[in-house]
Structure 1
Amino acid sequence: MPVSPQAYRPARALTEIADILADPVAPADFPQTILRFRNDRAAAEIGLDTLTDDEWGAHLGRFQPLPDTLPGPVALRYHGHQFRQYNSDLGDGRGFTFAQMTATDGRLLELGTKGSGQTPYSRFGDGRLTLKGGVREILATEMLEALNVPTSRTLSLIETGEALHRGDEPSPTRSAVMVRMSHGHIRIGSFQRLAFERDEAGMKRLVAYALHHLYGEDSDDPVRLLTLVAERTATLAARYMAAGFVHGVLNSDNINVTGESFDYGPWRFAPVWAPEFTAAYFDQSGLYALGRQPEAIQWDVMQLASSLRLIAESEPLIAALDGFATTYQTAIVAAILWRLGVTPREATEDRALVQTFERALRTSQASIDRTYFDLFGGSVPDHYDETWDALRDLIEPYAPRRARDHAYWQGSPESMLIDEVEAIWAPIAERDDWTPLYDKVERIRAMGAALAGGPGTA
């Protein structure tokens, strides 16, 4: 049997709502399937780590069906606000969902693709993914996972042997198909489509599905769903900020109702604390800049509330939205204290510490990654100048969340700035050398192990 009989537990929950959510599609027939990255750490959670490389390529590159899960790939339909402009012509244009499993922790997990071919929603696109785009997604997801940000994980990257032409990078360029592992792919935009179509019955079914399968609750209450989504997405926004991460395209069709970050395009990690820092060259107004991400995500959650108005009263929905700001304020304190490696004390003290830290980080324009690295455990090094004196006094009573006894602390801080991304890609493009990528993934995972544990851990 190609899958693990102990850990592989297939699921078919999506078939309950596929008729209102998705369309059957077929994968592209690729000239080649060259395995470039397999995430066995993630695969072990769903019993796929026992696949041979050939079996892996067959199931995650050719998309031969996995046993007893979804009957075939489906492309999801949705609408969404894109840079605040409503678009009713959306859907999975180069990907599909093709399997569901129950993970070792009991939660539902889905396998979705990027670059797997054209669908009814491809419009004029070719349904493909550049190999570089796949490499960038590996780096984003590995780094975010290590930094305790709720994120999809890159399970697989397979080179497909096609030459792609793109206007924003040297062409022709190499192609790939990627498999993403996530707790779900239902977006705020999925609800927006049903509201747009005035499909009350469909909306009720989708709410019940999300509550039951994505949140483990026996409920069909839209207000309860909005409350949970507001809490999860506020936590995501806070952890983006603590990580110094800029997603780049926080449109409502890119906001997963599980509160997981996914779908990485023009992402960046900010080198210094600059609220105006943007990831996308086309975000000329700075709508999705670093410091505006909480506002942007909250705005998207408001669109979910507006959609749920189809089947719920306004007043309780508005009250549920209030939970976003409250959760965010608590979550940003917890996330920054976690990254600083200190144990929370009293709420007022914790808020003062975080505010002082943010002020010093912005005033000094010090490296975000270096500063977190140096201060981990609650000690401000002597060579930090007077900008840090107030923080030095405030942080002194805090106990370390964990000791600096991991080998990671003997080296240099890991970062994922754009220059390093390009440096990792260059040897792949020039001489098919994947060693820098694999080495970087190992170092990121070592950082994650050094940071792991304690309050605020997902």
Structure 2
Amino acid sequence: MTFDPQAYQPERTLLTLGDRFYDRVEAADFPETRLRFRNDRAAAQVGLATLDDAEWIAHFGRFAPLAGSLEQPLALRYHGHQFRTYNPELGDGRGFTFAQLRDDGGRLMDLGTKGSGQTPWSRFGDGRLTLKGGVREVLASEMLEALGVPTSRSLSLIETGEALDRGDEPSPTRSAVLVRLSHGHIRIGTFQRLAYEQDEDGLRRLTAYVLHHLYDEPGDDPLRLLSLVVDRTARLAARYMAAGFVHGVLNTDNINVTGESFDYGPWRFAPTWDPGFTAAYFDHSGLYAFGRQPEAINWNAMQLAVALRPIVDAEPMIAELERFGTVYQAAVAEALLWRLGRRPLDPDRDRALVQTIGRALRQTGEQIDQVFFDAFAQPLPAHYGPIWDEARAALELFAPRAARDAAYWRGAPCAMLIDEVEAIWAPIAANDDWSLFDAKIASIRAMGAALA
């Protein structure tokens, strides 16, 4: 196999946790494997970009083990609150951790799957992923990466030749298997399962694993872990808001303890700054609406504290949880200033700008992406009317940072609203025409380079 000998650093640290944390499983045997997307940019960071297409398919469609890494896929065990209702029957039901590697920055990375077949946690599901669902996940992860959101990255998408029946797509529909590159797949729900089973030794063991392998810190102090998770998740919530992104299903089994976003199902980007905008058709109460995401993620961090309660006193955890709002406010100001092409000034004025921009966006109903594009590192254009005067004056206090790629800023903003997602999918479904998909990936990456 043609791994990059300078960059390929396989690991198998998950095995140190022991069998009570996972189940050894086998991948599905798919009728066919047609490579649809390979992310060589991400693959290069873990020494896999030198694989030829046949080798790529062997590993990420047939799941031949990567040399020196896991010899067999592992379906992770976890529980979780789903729309605030506790479910003790979760776990990797259509995915598994296939390999672990170090990236070029030394971080431990997992290769996790979606649609790779049934596991002991599939319940009544078929363990499969629709091709449309895979396309949507690639688009979401590419867009979020470009917009500065800490996210898993879609490494591979392979069509698998099965006809699937789904209630939310015209059926039968095409199938696929996705591989994502992520900084760990340990969820808040992973800790919840151990607390539910009264496994204090498991809680300590998992705490030490996360601190050592995912945060590069010594010891097994659960209070330190909670503090790190509060910081990372508050920053994730802030980046979601600045990106105008709505994840849709912020359950505790979908929140990674590294604060890295992952698992994109019913996601949407909000066209306007509407706090009530939802992504999931089944989110009838708006629990995970655009404007409620910080609250939802904060609530999830609280559930981690509850899970850690058997091994740490409550009072110091309360103090850590109370920091969430402060960290979030600073992080959302930083994220919005980054997207506006401005340098931070001071905490009070940074927060005031966020409030002013948010108020103008709500009152005018302007498109989020267009406003940020027009205001990036320059005065807000004159065609924004008097209601924007306060925002215009506030922006003038902030020094612009240098804009890259002048050609991008002379064009139109790269957005990802639902109508375009459907337009990208339509020719794939009708004629197996991937040209719009390929062009969109290129456009997203151009935006990412211009914002960098």
**By how many angstroms is 1:403 displaced?**
2.4
The one-letter code matched in structure 1 to 2:397 is P
Question: Residue in 2 aligned with 1:455?
Answer: none
**By how many angstroms is 1:405 displaced?**
4.3
Question: Residue in 1 aligned with 2:178?
Answer: 178
State yes or no: 1:50 paired with 2:50.
yes
Return the alpha-carbon distance in structure 2 between the equivalents of residues 219 and 360 of structure 1: 47
Return the alpha-carbon distance in structure 1 between the equivalents of residues 364 and 448 of structure 2: 26
Question: Residue in 1 aligned with 2:95?
Answer: 95
Return the alpha-carbon distance in structure 1 between the equivalents of residues 435 and 130 of structure 2: 19
Matches within 5 A, 1:36-435: 36-403=36-403, 405-435=405-435
The one-letter code matched in structure 2 to 1:66 is L
**By how many angstroms is 1:212 displaced?**
0.4
Return the alpha-carbon distance in structure 2 between the equivalents of residues 61 and 73 of structure 1: 13
The one-letter code matched in structure 1 to 2:59 is H
Aligned residue for 1:112, secondary structure, equals strand
The one-letter code matched in structure 2 to 1:350 is D
TM-score, with structure 1 as normaliser: 0.98
Question: Residue in 2 aligned with 1:27?
Answer: 27
Question: Residue in 2 aligned with 1:3?
Answer: 3
User: 1:378·1:399 contact (CA, 8 Å) conserved in 2?
Assistant: no
Which region of structure 1 is more displaced relative to structure 2, 51-60 or 378-387? Answer: 378-387
Return the alpha-carbon distance in structure 1 between the equivalents of residues 439 and 18 of structure 2: 40
The one-letter code matched in structure 2 to 1:379 is P
Return the alpha-carbon distance in structure 2 between the equivalents of residues 64 and 246 of structure 1: 35
**By how many angstroms is 1:323 displaced?**
2.1
Deviations 1:314-337 (A, max 9, x none): 111111112211110100100000
TM-score, with structure 2 as normaliser: 0.99
The one-letter code matched in structure 1 to 2:41 is R
Aligned residue for 1:306, secondary structure, equals helix
Q: RMSD value over aligned CA atoms?
A: 0.8
Aligned residue for 2:79, secondary structure, equals strand
Return the alpha-carbon distance in structure 1 between the equivalents of residues 354 and 320 of structure 2: 26
Return the alpha-carbon distance in structure 2 between the equivalents of residues 404 and 218 of structure 1: 39
Deviations 1:52-72 (A, max 9, x none): 000000001000000000121
The one-letter code matched in structure 1 to 2:246 is V
Question: Residue in 2 aligned with 1:456?
Answer: none
The one-letter code matched in structure 2 to 1:153 is R
User: 1:378·1:398 contact (CA, 8 Å) conserved in 2?
Assistant: no
User: 2:152·2:261 contact (CA, 8 Å) conserved in 1?
Assistant: yes
Aligned residue for 2:388, secondary structure, equals helix
Aligned residues: 452
User: 2:156·2:179 contact (CA, 8 Å) conserved in 1?
Assistant: yes
**By how many angstroms is 1:404 displaced?**
5.4
The one-letter code matched in structure 2 to 1:204 is R
**By how many angstroms is 1:406 displaced?**
2.9
* Unaligned segments of structure 2, at least 5 residues: none
The one-letter code matched in structure 2 to 1:149 is V
Return the alpha-carbon distance in structure 1 between the equivalents of residues 397 and 288 of structure 2: 36
Aligned residue for 1:90, secondary structure, equals coil
**By how many angstroms is 1:378 displaced?**
4.0
User: 2:403·2:451 contact (CA, 8 Å) conserved in 1?
Assistant: no
The one-letter code matched in structure 2 to 1:186 is I
Deviations 1:354-375 (A, max 9, x none): 1111111111100000000000
Return the alpha-carbon distance in structure 2 between the equivalents of residues 318 and 34 of structure 1: 51
Deviations 1:251-305 (A, max 9, x none): 0000000100101110000000000000001100000000000000000110000
The one-letter code matched in structure 1 to 2:258 is T
User: 2:404·2:449 contact (CA, 8 Å) conserved in 1?
Assistant: no
**By how many angstroms is 1:127 displaced?**
0.3
The one-letter code matched in structure 2 to 1:256 is N
Return the alpha-carbon distance in structure 1 between the equivalents of residues 99 and 163 of structure 2: 28
Return the alpha-carbon distance in structure 2 between the equivalents of residues 186 and 397 of structure 1: 42
Alpha carbons of structure 1 residues 405 and 434: separation in structure 2 relative to 1, 3 Å:
closer
Deviations 1:374-433 (A, max 9, x none): 000141101110011011111113211122543211110010000000000000000000
Deviations 1:166-208 (A, max 9, x none): 1111111000000000000000000000000000111100000
The one-letter code matched in structure 2 to 1:55 is E
Aligned residue for 1:2, secondary structure, equals coil
Identity, in percent, stands at 69
User: 2:341·2:376 contact (CA, 8 Å) conserved in 1?
Assistant: yes
Return the alpha-carbon distance in structure 1 between the equivalents of residues 134 and 297 of structure 2: 25
* Unaligned segments of structure 1, at least 5 residues: 453-458
List, as ranges, runs of 4+ consecutive aligned residues in structure 1 with deviation greater than 6 Å: none
Aligned residue for 1:185, secondary structure, equals coil
Return the alpha-carbon distance in structure 2 between the equivalents of residues 345 and 18 of structure 1: 49
Aligned residue for 1:420, secondary structure, equals helix
The one-letter code matched in structure 1 to 2:27 is P
